Amino acid sequence: MELFYLKLDEHIESLSDKFRSKFVITQAIYNDIILVLKDGWGEAQLKLWARKHFKLVTIGELQVVYGIKSNNPVITYEQLYTTIKECHERVGHHDRDKTWKAVVFCTRIQSENYNFL
């Protein structure tokens, strides 16, 4: 896990400043996005960015942030390794493409399962 985040951080640092801060969504930013979409909280630039790229889906009593273009739940930086690892194991340690399809599928299933809470 440490190696994964080390490599991910190296990649993020290699990006230009414009893309670096929004390449991944941290839990803090995720929480801010929820506040923007739910309560209109935040600075104008954050509001514009959040409303342009995300939507809030209420599943039971849980608020889940979805990407507008992908229509998939957002996986935070802190959840990334665990999500990929679980999905990779679910597909029987197959290749990258099968794992990635499973990540997309698993995040949809996880968000749909919140209906039962």
Q: What is the pLDDT of residues 69-106, one digit of tens each?
A: 989 889 899 998 988 888 778 777 666 676 666 666 65
pLDDT band at 117 (very low <50, low <70, confident <90, very high): very low
Residue 108 near residue 87, CB atoms below 8 Å: no
Joined tokens for residue 85:
């690892």
Q: Where are the domains of the chain?
A: 2-116
Helix extents (H) in the chain: 2-14, 17-20, 27-39, 44-53, 77-90, 96-113
**Predicted local distance difference test score (pLDDT) of residue 98:** 67
Helix %, strand %, coil % of the chain (to 5): 65, 10, 25
